[in-house]
């Protein structure tokens, strides 16, 4: 059973502050193991990959090639139900259209002095996409990572996915095919991250690695960060639903459980100004839990981290929402725009009663890779911007240099940097 917090109760401020800092993840310290694996892959390349894949995934690269063949991808796609293929295609198309609008534009201009300034955006040349194995192997995540990379103009997208026991989820390969990913290796874990970062005989290195993974993958991404770029390190999923009295409790319960079924560390929170609705949703959750295939996971998440927060007025929900800074925020209220105007910290907002968060997981068009664990206070969901980088441009002629030189020389001297001052002064026969 989730906790019940009442804004009107004594000590709510402290209770809420404590609730905010609840840890939902056991972070295993796997750094040493991961360090050794990375060093081994750097030293022995493919041979190390073969050893780890045999040991961890039970796959022998003398029987099966490390790289997934085009025929295998086609065969996998042929196995997927037509309605799922259609759904993947619809999702890919909507993701592509939405993300195409995110492409930043170059801005090259001259200022009043005649100084040329600018920003030029270019795609990252090669990106690695980690896809987990087993039940966390989500085809929708392949689309959410690969399509924006493709839209950004990344030429080489390399997917790695562990073939636990030899098998790769065919829908994952179908999603890769739809997203135009052709370079796929059946490797996983820290060894796959190391191979992407440093390269092996078979795999050329990439410049950035994205995608979710277990504790080993997360630790490996942290360790190779700097050599390559990485996306965020995502924690368990979370949803915050703000709801007024005019809601069907069953709809809201379903939304809360859709997060809870992801992970025992997932978190589902309802904020409402109506105690009766709060109680009705709690009952509905208990009822719906019974018929879920992942009821054990969902029940654990709801029991350990679920919460219903009763507020005096809906306006009071907004500052709480900003402190929670949820990955997903649903506004199931009569006037969602009024609340939305005050929301500042949220990964994504789902507006109105007919926008369940799940639509955003799959076919809304927006990205489902979003900041978790309150990091929406300082970071954003995955977008085309994660696959491009900006080069700044400066262009002076002799006249502009003359205009700016005295200030540059004064600052260089005040910082004790002689050679800096000279680099400007020497071009104008000034004293440096």
Q: Give 115 or 245: the residue with its C-beta nearer to a copy of itself.
A: 115
Instruction: Work out whether 98 is an interface residue with a copy of itself (CB under 8 A).
Output: yes
Point out which span in 65-73, 99-107, 182-190, 303-311 binds a copy of itself (CB under 8 A). 99-107
Instruction: Work out whether 132 is an interface residue with a copy of itself (CB under 8 A).
Output: no
- Known binding residue 52? Answer is no
Instruction: Work out whether 119 is an interface residue with a copy of itself (CB under 8 A).
Output: yes
The alpha-helical segments, DSSP class H, found in 345-417 are 357-362, 398-414
Q: Which of 22, 109, 201, 283 binds a copy of itself (CB under 8 A)?
A: 109
Neighbours of 112 (CB within 10 A): 5
CB of 63 to a copy of itself, least distance (A): 28
- 3-state DSSP: the chain helix, strand, coil percent, rounded to 5? 50, 15, 35
Instruction: Work out whether 237 is an interface residue with a copy of itself (CB under 8 A).
Output: no
Point out which span in 56-64, 160-168, 269-277, 423-431 binds a copy of itself (CB under 8 A). 423-431
Q: Give 102 or 202: the residue with its C-beta nearer to a copy of itself.
A: 102
Phi, psi of 379 (to 5 degrees): -145, 170
54: tokens are 């045999």
Instruction: Work out whether 60 is an interface residue with a copy of itself (CB under 8 A).
Output: no
Instruction: Work out whether 250 is an interface residue with a copy of itself (CB under 8 A).
Output: yes
Neighbours of 201 (CB within 10 A): 10
207: tokens are 């410049």
Q: Is-catalytic flag, 327?
A: yes
Binding to a copy of itself (CB under 8 A) within 28-47 occurs at none
162: tokens are 């562990």
Point out which span in 32-40, 42-50, 51-59, 291-299 binds a copy of itself (CB under 8 A). 291-299
Q: Which of 67, 156, 294, 303 binds a copy of itself (CB under 8 A)?
A: 294
CB of 6 to a copy of itself, least distance (A): 26
- Contact indicator for 233, 220 with CB cutoff of 8 Å: no
Instruction: Give CA–CA dist 349/353, Å, rounded.
Output: 12
- Known binding residue 328? Answer is yes
- Mapped onto helix, strand or coil, the DSSP state of residue 340 is helix
Binding to a copy of itself (CB under 8 A) within 186-215 occurs at 207-208
Q: Give 50 or 382: the residue with its C-beta nearer to a copy of itself.
A: 382
Instruction: Kindly state the helix (H) or strand (E) to which residue 118 belongs, with its residue range.
Output: strand 116-123
- Known binding residue 198? Answer is no
User: What is the residue-wise DSSP string for 226-270?
Assistant: TTBEE-----S-EEEEEE-SSS-HHHHHHHHHHHHTT-TT-EEEE
Q: Is-catalytic flag, 328?
A: yes
352: phi > 0 → left, psi -120 to 50 → alpha, else beta; which? left
CB of 9 to a copy of itself, least distance (A): 25
Instruction: Work out whether 299 is an interface residue with a copy of itself (CB under 8 A).
Output: no
Instruction: Work out whether 167 is an interface residue with a copy of itself (CB under 8 A).
Output: no
Closest CA to 254 of 239, 244, 274: 239
Q: Give 50 or 325: the residue with its C-beta nearer to a copy of itself.
A: 325
How buried is 67 (Cβ within 10 angstroms: 0-12 exposed, 13-18 middle, 19+ buried)? middle
Residues 328, 330, 357, 368: which is the catalytic one? 328
Instruction: Work out whether 427 is an interface residue with a copy of itself (CB under 8 A).
Output: yes
Q: Which of 242, 251, 263, 273 binds a copy of itself (CB under 8 A)?
A: 251
Residues belonging to the chain: 432
Residues labelled as active-site residues: 327-328
Per the annotation, where are the binding residues for substrate?
237, 259, 262, 328, 361, 415, 420
């Amino acid at each position: 059973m989730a906790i019940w917090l009442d804004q009107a109760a004594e000590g709510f401020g402290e209770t809420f502050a404590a609730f905010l800092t609840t840890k939902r993840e056991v972070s295993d310290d796997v750094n040493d193991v991961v360090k050794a694996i990375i060093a081994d892959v750097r030293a022995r390349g493919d041979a190390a990959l073969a050893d780890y894949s045999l040991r961890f995934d039970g796959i022998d690269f003398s029987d099966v090639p490390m790289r997934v063949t085009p025929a295998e991808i086609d065969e996998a796609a042929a196995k997927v139900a037509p309605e799922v293929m259609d759904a993947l295609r619809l999702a890919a198309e909507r993701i592509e259209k939405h993300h195409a609008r995110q492409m930043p534009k170059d801005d090259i201009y001259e200022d009043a002095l005649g100084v040329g300034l600018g920003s030029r955006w270019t795609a990252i040349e090669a990106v690695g996409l980690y896809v987990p194995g087993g039940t966390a192997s989500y085809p929708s995540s392949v689309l959410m990572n690969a399509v924006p990379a493709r839209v950004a103009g990344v030429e080489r997208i390399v997917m790695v996915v562990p073939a636990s026991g030899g098998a790769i989820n065919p829908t994952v390969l179908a999603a890769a095919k739809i997203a135009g990913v052709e370079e796929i290796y059946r490797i996983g874990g820290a060894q796959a991250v190391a191979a992407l970062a440093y390269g092996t005989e078979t795999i050329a290195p990439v410049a950035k690695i994205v995608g979710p993974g277990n504790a080993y993958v997360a630790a490996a991404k942290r360790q190779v960060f700097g050599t390559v770029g990485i996306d965020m390190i995502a924690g368990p999923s979370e949803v915050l639903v703000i709801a007024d009295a005019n809601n069907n409790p069953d709809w809201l319960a379903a939304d809360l459980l859709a997060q809870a079924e992801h992970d025992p560390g997932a978190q589902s929170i309802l904020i409402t100004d109506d105690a009766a609705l709060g109680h009705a949703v709690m009952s509905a959750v208990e009822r719906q839990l019974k018929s879920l295939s992942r009821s054990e996971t969902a029940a654990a998440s709801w029991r350990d981290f679920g919460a219903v927060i009763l507020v005096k007025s809906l306006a009071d929900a907004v500052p709480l929402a900003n402190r929670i800074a949820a990955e997903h925020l649903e506004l199931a209220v009569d006037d969602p725009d009024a609340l939305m105007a005050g929301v500042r910290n949220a990964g994504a907002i789902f507006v109105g009663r007919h926008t369940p968060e799940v639509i955003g997981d799959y076919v809304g068009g927006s990205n489902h890779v979003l900041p978790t664990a309150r990091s929406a206070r300082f970071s954003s969901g995955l977008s085309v911007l994660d696959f491009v980088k900006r080069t700044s441009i400066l262009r002076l002629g002799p006249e502009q240099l003359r205009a700016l030189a005295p200030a540059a020389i004064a600052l260089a001297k005040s910082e004790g940097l002689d050679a800096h001052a000279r680099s400007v002064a020497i071009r104008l026969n000034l004293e440096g």
